């Protein structure tokens, strides 16, 4: 039995389930984008010559430490 769209206008559980589903899809998209950006970043480090790899590593560690400081309470 399908739900009439007009009947569901006032069906709060139906509306909530659609909101939650949309939010979950948005979060899945955001997670995929995050993972893809990390992969792009890691791939880009291969373009840095060996003389500058250590500098890249140090700079990345500083960024991570700064992020942790900002987000740890």
pTM > 0.75: yes or no = no
Q: In the structure, what pLDDT confidence band is assigned to residue 7 with cuts at 50, 70 and 90?
A: low
Sequence-distant (≥ 6) Cβ neighbours of residue 51 within 8 angstroms:
none
Q: In the structure, what pLDDT confidence band is assigned to residue 2 with cuts at 50, 70 and 90?
A: low
Burial category of 6 from C-beta neighbours within 10 Å (exposed 0-12, middle 13-18, buried 19 and up):
exposed
Write down the domain spans for the chain.
Answer: 7-71
pLDDT of 26 over the 80 cut: yes
Which letter, b or e, does each residue of 27-58 get, where b requires 16 or more Cβ atoms within 10 Å of its Cβ? eeeeeeeeeeeeeeeeeeeeeeeeeeeeeeee
pLDDT at 22: 77
């Amino acid at each position: 039995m399908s739900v009439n769209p007009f009947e569901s206008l006032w069906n709060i559980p139906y509306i909530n389930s659609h909101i939650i589903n949309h939010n979950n899809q948005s979060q899945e998209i955001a997670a995929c984008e995050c993972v893809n950006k990390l992969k792009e970043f890691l791939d880009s480090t291969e373009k840095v010559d060996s003389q500058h790899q250590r500098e890249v590593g140090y700079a990345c560690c500083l960024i991570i430490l700064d992020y942790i400081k900002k987000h740890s309470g």
